[in-house]
Amino acid sequence: MPEELRGPAGVALYVAVATVVYWLVSDEIAGTLLLVFLFVAAVALVLLGLALRRPGVDPALEIEEEPVVTVSPWPLLGAAAAMLVGLGLLYGPWLWIPGAALGAGSAYGWITQTDA
Amino acid sequence: MPASEAAAVAAHPEPRGLVAWLTTTDHKRIGLLYLWSALIFFVAGGVMSLLMRAELAQPGLQLLERETYNQLFTMHGTAMIFFFATPVAVGLANYLVPLQIGAPDVAYPRLNALTFWLFLAGALTAFSGFLTASGAAAVGWTGYAPLSESTYSPGAGVDLWIIGLLLSGMASILGAVNFLATIFGMRAPGMTMFRVPIFTWNIVAISVLILFSFPVLTAALAALFVDRNFGGHFFDPSQGGNPVLWQHLFWFFGHPEVYIVILPFFGVVSEIVPVFSRKPLFGYKGFVFATLLITAYSFSVWAHHMFTTGAVSSLFFATTSFLIAIPTGVKFFNWIATMWRGKLTFEAPMLFCAGFLFMFLIGGISGVFLASPPIDYAVHDTYYVVAHMHYVLFGGTTFAAFAALYFWIPKFSGRLMGEGLARVHFVLMLVGMNLAFFPMHQLGLDGMQRRVPDYPESSGYGDLNMLSTVGAFLIAVSVVVFAVNFAVSMRRGRSAGGDPWGGYSLEWATTSPPPHHNFESLPPVRSERPVYDARTGDA
């Protein structure tokens, strides 16, 4: 196993044991489910890591490197869009309109930006 | 990023001005933005604590109304945990991880910028509650239901707190992905995982912790928001909900969060102690495995915060909580063994590391007591718990954070900090913190409840509270001394050169501050101390 994946694999192994022990000593459903969630998440991370390292892997799964950009306004505008959408949940959906517009503009600018 | 592209970018001059900072994707600038923001929130949280301590200095209500006090302790905890301790570590990681692994930047520079702006948007959103008619959230940083439900906490403050934490939590998750991709995919030739500096190893550990714990917090906050605004009943017992479920979800995130906060500072101490002991870190691999063990164990201890609910297995959580002291003890052993028979010198970074060891040890020992259910039942929700968490989180993170700043500010700025004022800062902070927090142990054992703005004169709590307040103001004075030292040193400090301390890891192989894409050339990496190897001719 690649050394990068030993950490999540160790978490999965430990949590598998802890889940069984916890269920047996407590018979308590909420905590047991949380541990099961953690086990599934850790195993999923390990499997994803193994899939990305396998020879002949689907190129779509490979991590693409970003183009070299030294400045970009899109992260700042994207965060502002996320804040507007979040505040729209509280103050009314009308905030989603500028939030969505800013978010869409940021996403488009982000994707199409190739250089500073 | 291919080396040819990095070289092409390195040839371009670094953009200057406000717009350049607002649009930067350079990991070093983003790291500095995180650090400055974290320090501002540290000051904001600190001012709130001074107001609370001033109120508690004497029995009776002198300065604050009860509701204001509730808002202050809520936002103090939120600021210190979410907007100071976590981002100061993330800021250090942003600046240092690419340098330590010999990379020109992080894997996804624009995603990195997005995480900073999301974090800042979240922090400002949470704090904006102070501007609303009903004030900021007043439910404690733990936000326990049903107190945090709209029935008991109406108004926008809690909602803004929830939205703020959701935004900053999203930033943490994206940042964790970026750090893992960077550390796993962009290491310099020769840098195997077991040659990666310990600080960077700890960033791997907290990234895993964030990936597994923050989604749970996100889910819990979303459910609470639905309860408050859309008629949900997840945590409202009067409608069939279960408030203990909130505690499960919150602490399933909350206890790993303690390690998310503290592990990077274990890494900081592990970088500094060997340099000032003139020895390699004792038991490098043992240290890494102890870190991984803490990572795994930290997911199975959350309900020691919930012993008094009676709804969890005390046996299980007491056992796992005692267990986690073992890898932490291994780390203490490694630090002491590293110093043993070393050629120790006590410049400011090492002094603050010594302070960290002292403070964290006290906090760790009181934590072992709290892991015992009978003791926890006796002191739950008293000032004993406040003392414990401040020794661990404030004593641990703040001393190590200042150690890190004194150690790496010369790298960030090219100038050394003044040693004389640093020593004054250290003494004032050490005395202040122990005056502020040690009496809280006794107050807790005497029965003083946490989160109360007042206490009866007949309780006898007055003297210890006054002592604690004096300590808090001493800490504030020490921070002012640091600020003066920083301002003076940045104007008139001695030039640091590339490697002022005789450092070991790759950030000391480049100029101070580093050029835009970090390195003109890299020394060969054949151990976990490549710069030491190059300096002594071992490479």
Nearest to A66 among B9, B110, B297 (CB): B110
CB–CB contacts below 8 A, A to B: 151
Give the C-alpha separation, B190 to B530, whole Å: 10
Shortest Cα–Cα distance, A58 to chain B (Å): 18
Dihedral sign from CA coordinates of B413, B206, B426, B327? negative
Question: Nearest CA of chain A to the CA of B245: how many Å?
Answer: 7
Question: What gap in Å lies between CA B528 and CA B190, rounded to an integer?
Answer: 10
Amino acid at the residue B225: F
CB-CB: which of B15, B181, B194 is closest to A70? B15
User: Full-prediction pTM beyond 0.90?
Assistant: yes
Predicted confidence band of residue B3 (pLDDT cuts 50, 70, 90): very low
Q: Who's near B31: CB < 8 A, 6+ residues apart?
A: B91, B92, B93, B94, B95, B96
Q: Quick check: B179 pLDDT over 90?
A: yes
pLDDT at A2 over 80: no
Average confidence (pLDDT) over B197-209: 95
Burial grade of B71 (CB within 10 A; 0-12, 13-18, 19 or more): buried
Cβ distance B299 to A8 less than 8 Å, yes or no, reads no
> Could you report the per-residue pLDDT of B280-312, keeping only the tens digit for each?
999 999 999 999 999 988 989 999 999 999 988
What pLDDT is recorded for position B351?
A: 97
Q: What is the pLDDT of residue B4?
A: 45
Q: Quote the DSSP letter at residue B42.
A: H
**Considering chain B, what percentage of its residues have pLDDT values greater than 70?**
97
Of all residues in chain A, the one with the smallest CA distance to B211 is A41
User: With contacts defined as CB-CB under 8 Å, which chain B residues touch A79?
Assistant: 114, 117-118, 120-121, 167
Contact A11 B295 (CB under 8 A): yes
Alpha helix (H) ranges present in B144-242?
Answer: 156-185, 198-229
Distance CA B380, CA B392 (A): 17
CB-nearest partner of B163 from A22, A31, A87: A87
Check CB contact of A111 with chain B, cutoff 8 Å: no
The 3 state secondary structure assigned to A20-71 is HHHHHHHCCHHHHHHHHHHHHHHHHHHHHHHHHHCCCCCHHHCCCCCCCCCE
Q: Report how far residue A78's alpha carbon sits from residue B33's, in angstroms, rounded to the nearest whole number.
A: 17
Is pLDDT above 60 for B509?
Answer: yes
Q: Which of B190, B203, B9, B247 is nearest to B105 (CA)?
A: B9
pLDDT attached to residue A5: 82
The mean predicted confidence, pLDDT, of chain A is 85
Shortest CA distance to B83 belongs to which of B172, B5, B192?
B172
Q: How far is A98 from chain B (nearest CA, A)?
A: 16
